[in-house]
């Protein structure tokens, strides 16, 4: 049986690797194949044809697309992310510290969002149909249907314009004391927690309701187990897989949320770097950031699927 | 059909009042978008107020923007871009996604495997990320935006349509049609499509919400609709400087987006079961 599980996991990892290959292919072709000659763009309108030809040769732009894709991919695997078009600095240097900042923001958000959503999602499922459940459902649908920037601007309006508790913009550089750090992270983390939790609560609630509807939970209730006992001891262990899936899928909403939040709060992370890169059409930077986000997203999804495989007693 | 069956059917087609509210707000915005140039109180580009980020007043119902232009007029015109671009994109995405999905289910084999593998991989790129990459590569003119949004949401529509069509494809009448020697396009459009059209329409609505949100998000980042045009997301982007003053120019466009997306969600959640689950 163990080899069967290992086989399933290996299969899942293989399909993730294939997906990643297709995705990096798509990112490369979207940015490198589309109209506009890179060398001409870099050198400007006044460039001589010789200069353009020289740069094209230096950047291997004359080679067939597949060769360039392979060269780019091999570079990525060796940690060579290329050189920024705009300021001629290695992309890896630009990304370095900012990557840590983004991971920190994501980490703090996860730390608050996961316990909060699990508690709300599981209790909403337990008291399905009650006023409490309806309030939770309506609020989560409301948050899911509005754009992330609306949650961010509402948070700014509430906490810094009307209540004046927090500064409107955060700059992670001038934080010295713990209280300052708290103030700086408060607004981005509140916004992201809202965005991510809404998804997580809905999916957790659905997953728990699915298991509560099974005959063995009904049997537990019929033999006299309390509602808490039936849910926590009988239903939850079987809902681990779907819940892990819910958490991972919702955390992937961090990617979209982080792009908006870092821009609006001027937070020095890779999402802000990427948005600035799009404005200046700095393609190597955009490619690297896109790949980093895709790798993060795929890792989360793959991890959730593996947890689901391991948590499923039928295959164990 | 006799009157008694018509009567017994009627209740299942009745909308709940929540659904009606959703539908009327959607119709309201559709009407605003259609009639926009005729109902704006002031010309869109004209500077009316000397004060920027002005408050709501009798003259300017929703205040003024960062240049002192009338916000109400700009929101009315913005409805055209938000609703128009999203609608065009969702039609393209759902049509191509559904056609490919049904074809994959009917043809099966290698065609299905390769197409599913490819589109699932594309589906695993977060939508905002694809938006940024495409905007960087080809810019963001109105036409590019429509195609971009359609391309980003086609894989999702494909997956949904395929999963529905695979179930219908096992039915006896499909086998009969095949044995009769019907072509793929006949089976797809005359045998499968009528059986899954209800859920497909619900999916159409949900995808419309996703597209409105993505378009607004990109415009908010300054990478969507470009000046002199402005959709609701772009209106928030250009007036974000008024946030510390709590100017209505920042809040009202967001409220407009929320009213549209929430209404569509309400409508779909309250659709009569007959329409939603016709395949069942």
**Cα–Cα dist A308/A302, whole Å:** 10
Cβ–Cβ gap A290/B223 under 8 Å:
no
Residue B21 in domain: no
d(C-alpha B235, C-alpha B225), whole Å: 10
Q: Is residue B115 part of a domain?
A: yes
d(CA B74, CA B84): 15
pLDDT value at position B57?
74
- Its domain, for residue A96, covers 82-301
What's the rounded Cα separation, in Å, for the pair B115 and A81?
30
* Closest chain B CA to residue A139: B262
Contact A258, A103 (CB under 8 A): no
Task: Assess B35–A contact: CB distance below 8 Å, yes or no.
Answer: no
Report yes or no on B175 lying in a domain.
Answer: yes
How far is the C-alpha of B247 from the C-alpha of B235, rounded, in Å? Answer: 12
Q: Is B250 on the interface with A (CB under 8 A)?
A: yes
Which residues does chain A have with pLDDT short of 70? 1, 33-47, 59-62, 167-177, 313-316
**Cβ-defined contact of A256 to B134 (cutoff 8 Å):** no
User: For residue A166, is it within any domain?
Assistant: yes
Residue B127: closest CA among chain A residues belongs to which residue? A256
Facing A286 at nearest CB: one of B124, B133, B269: B133
Enter the DSSP assignment of B69.
Answer: B
Query: Does position B166 have pLDDT exceeding 70, yes or no?
Result: yes
- The answer to whether residue B14 is domain-embedded is no
Chain A CB within 8 Å of residue B136 CB = yes
To the nearest 10°, the Cα dihedral for A304, A306, A311, A315?
A: 140
- Residue B4 is predicted with a pLDDT of 43
Q: Out of A279, A290, A298, whose CB is closest to B133?
A: A290
Residue B15 in this model has a pLDDT that exceeds 70: no
- Distance separating alpha carbons of residues A212 and A214, to the nearest angstrom: 6
Question: For chain B, what is the largest distance between any 2 Cα atoms, rounded to a whole number of angstroms?
Answer: 75
Domain count within chain B: 1
Beta carbons within 10 angstroms of residue B58's beta carbon: 5
Pick the closest to residue B149 from B218, B201, B99, B202 (CA basis). Answer: B218
CA dihedral for A291, A294, A300, A304, sign (positive or negative): negative
- Say how far apart CA A86 and CA A83 lie, in whole Å: 9
- Confirm whether A309 is domain-assigned: no
Range of the domain at B192: 48-269
- Say if B125 is an interface residue toward chain A (CB within 8 Å): yes
* Residue B16 maps to a domain: no
* Segment among A113-127, A254-268, B53-67, B112-126 with least mean pLDDT: B53-67
Decide if A41 is inside a domain: no
Q: Domain count for chain A, please give it.
A: 1
Q: Which residue has the higher pLDDT, B176 or B245?
A: B176
Q: Residue A66 falls within a domain, yes or no?
A: no
> Each residue of B84-94: pLDDT tens digit?
999 999 999 99
Q: B18 in contact with A at a CB cutoff of 8 Å? A: no
> Coil, strand, or helix at residue B11?
helix
Nearest CB to A294; choose among B125, B135, B209? B125
Residue B143, chain A, CB below 8 Å: the answer is no
CA dist B165 and B103 (Å) reads 9
* pLDDT band per the 50, 70, 90 thresholds, residue B62: confident
Whole-angstrom CA distances from A122 to A93, A127, B243 are 44, 9, 37
pLDDT tens-place string over residues B167-185: 888 888 888 998 998 888 8
- How many Cβ atoms from other residues are within 10 Å of residue A130's Cβ? 12
Q: Is B256 in the A-facing interface, judged by CB distances under 8 Å?
A: no
User: B38 pLDDT exceeds 80?
Assistant: yes
The string of pLDDT tens digits covering residues B127-152 is: 888 888 888 888 788 888 999 999 99
* Mean pLDDT in residue range B31-42: 84
Q: CB A147 to CB B250 under 8 A?
A: no
Residues of B in contact with A19 (CB under 8 A): 120-121, 124
- What pLDDT band is residue B102 in, cutting at 50, 70 and 90? very high
Residue A11 tokens, joined: 């299969």
Nearest to A76 by CA among A61, A95, A58, A62: A95
Q: Are A95 and A270 contacting, i.e. CB atoms less than 8 angstroms apart?
A: yes
Q: Does the beta carbon of A252 lie under 8 angstroms from any beta carbon of chain B?
A: yes
Phi, psi at residue B44, to the nearest 5°?
-65, -40
In a domain, A48, yes or no: no
CATH of the domain at A265: 1.10.3720.10
In a domain, B4, yes or no: no
Cα-flanking dihedrals φ and ψ of residue A83, to 5°? Answer: -115, 140
Q: Which two tokens stand for residue B113?
A: 């495997």
**How far is C-alpha A167 from the chain's CA centre?**
26
For residue B70, the cross-strand partners are: B64
CATH of the domain at B64: 1.10.3720.10
Give the lowest-confidence range in A99-103, B202-206, B240-244.
B240-244
Can you say whether the dihedral through the CA atoms of A63, A294, A283, A281 is positive or negative? positive
- Four-CA torsion B1, B4, B10, B11, nearest 10 degrees: -150
Q: Is A79 left (phi over 0), alpha (psi -120 to 50) or beta?
A: left
Mean pLDDT of chain B: 84
Q: How confident is the model over B64-73, as a mean pLDDT?
A: 80
Quick one: A289 exposed, middle or buried, by C-beta within 10 A (0-12, 13-18, 19+)?
A: buried
Is residue A4 in a domain? no
- The lowest-confidence range among A69-78, A264-273, B57-66, B105-114 is B57-66
CA distance linking residue A67 with residue A274, whole number of Å: 26
Sole residue written with tokens 């509402």: A154
Average pLDDT over residues B215-222: 91
Q: Residue B138 falls within a domain, yes or no?
A: yes
Residue B241 lies in a domain: yes
Q: Output A258 or B280, whichever has higher pLDDT.
A: A258
C-alpha count within 13 angstroms, C-beta hemisphere, residue A274: 29
What does the block give as tokens for A191?
């916004």
Chain B positions touching A263 (Cβ under 8 A) are 221
Give the whole-angstrom CA distance, residue B260 versus residue B27. 10
Q: Which of A5-9, B12-16, B40-44, B46-50 has maximum average pLDDT?
A: A5-9
C-alpha–C-alpha distance, residues B272 and B257, integer Å: 25
């Amino acid at each position: 049986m163990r080899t069967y599980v290992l086989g399933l996991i290996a299969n899942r990892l293989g399909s993730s690797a294939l997906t990643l290959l297709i995705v990096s292919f798509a990112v490369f072709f979207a940015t490198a194949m589309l109209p506009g000659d890179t060398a001409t763009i870099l050198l400007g309108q006044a460039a001589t044809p010789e200069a353009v030809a020289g740069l094209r040769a230096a950047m291997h732009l004359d080679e067939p697309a597949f060769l360039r894709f392979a060269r780019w991919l091999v570079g990525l695997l060796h940690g060579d992310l290329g050189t920024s078009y705009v300021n001629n600095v290695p992309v890896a240097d630009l990304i370095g510290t900012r990557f840590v900042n983004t991971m920190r923001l994501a980490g703090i958000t996860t730390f608050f969002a996961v316990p909060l959503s699990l508690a709300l999602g599981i209790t909403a499922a337990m008291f399905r149909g009650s006023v409490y459940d309806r309030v939770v459902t309506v609020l989560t649908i409301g948050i899911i249907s509005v754009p992330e920037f609306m949650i961010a601007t509402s948070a700014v309006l509430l906490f810094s314009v009307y209540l004046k508790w927090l500064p409107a913009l955060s700059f992670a550089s001038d934080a010295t004391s713990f209280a300052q750090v708290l103030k700086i992270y408060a607004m981005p983390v509140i916004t992201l927690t809202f965005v991510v939790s809404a998804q997580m609560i809905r999916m957790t609630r659905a997953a728990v309701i699915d298991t509560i509807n099974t005959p063995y939970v009904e049997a537990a209730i019929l033999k006299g187990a309390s509602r808490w006992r039936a849910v926590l001891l009988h239903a939850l262990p079987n809902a681990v897989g779907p819940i892990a899936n819910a958490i991972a899928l919702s955390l992937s909403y961090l990617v979209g949320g982080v792009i908006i939040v870092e821009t609006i709060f001027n937070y020095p992370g890779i999402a802000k770097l990427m948005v600035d890169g799009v404005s200046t059409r700095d393609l190597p930077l955009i490619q690297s950031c896109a790949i980093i986000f895709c790798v993060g997203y795929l890792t989360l999804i793959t991890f959730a699927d593996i947890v689901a495989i391991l948590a499923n007693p039928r295959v164990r | 059909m006799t009157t008694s069956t018509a009567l017994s059917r009627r209740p299942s087609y009745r909308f709940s009042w929540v659904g009606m509210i959703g539908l009327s707000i959607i119709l309201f915005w559709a009407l605003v978008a259609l009639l926009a140039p005729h109902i704006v109180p002031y010309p869109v580009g004209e500077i009316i107020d000397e004060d920027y980020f002005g408050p709501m007043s009798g003259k300017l119902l929703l205040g003024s923007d960062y240049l002192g232009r009338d916000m109400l007029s700009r929101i009315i015109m913005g409805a055209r871009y938000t609703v128009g671009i999203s609608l065009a994109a969702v039609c393209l995405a759902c049509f191509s996604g559904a056609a490919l999905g049904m074809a994959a289910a009917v043809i099966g084999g290698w065609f299905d495997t390769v197409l599913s593998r490819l589109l699932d991989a594309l589906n695993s790129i977060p939508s905002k990320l694809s938006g940024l990459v495409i905007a960087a590569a080809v810019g963001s003119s109105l036409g590019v935006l429509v195609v971009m949004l359609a391309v980003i949401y086609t894989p999702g529509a494909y997956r949904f349509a395929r999963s529905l069509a695979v179930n219908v494809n096992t039915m006896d009448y499909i086998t009969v049609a095949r044995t009769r020697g019907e072509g793929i396009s006949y089976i797809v459009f005359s045998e499968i499509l009528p059986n899954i059209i209800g859920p497909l329409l619900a999916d159409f609505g949900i995808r419309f919400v996703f597209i409105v949100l993505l378009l607004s998000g990109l415009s908010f980042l300054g990478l969507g609709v470009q000046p002199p045009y402005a959709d609701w997301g772009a209106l928030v982007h250009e007036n974000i400087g008024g946030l510390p003053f709590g100017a209505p120019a920042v809040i009202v466009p967001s409220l407009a987006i929320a009213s549209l997306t929430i209404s569509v969600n309400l409508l779909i959640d309250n659709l009569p079961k007959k329409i939603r689950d016709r395949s069942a």
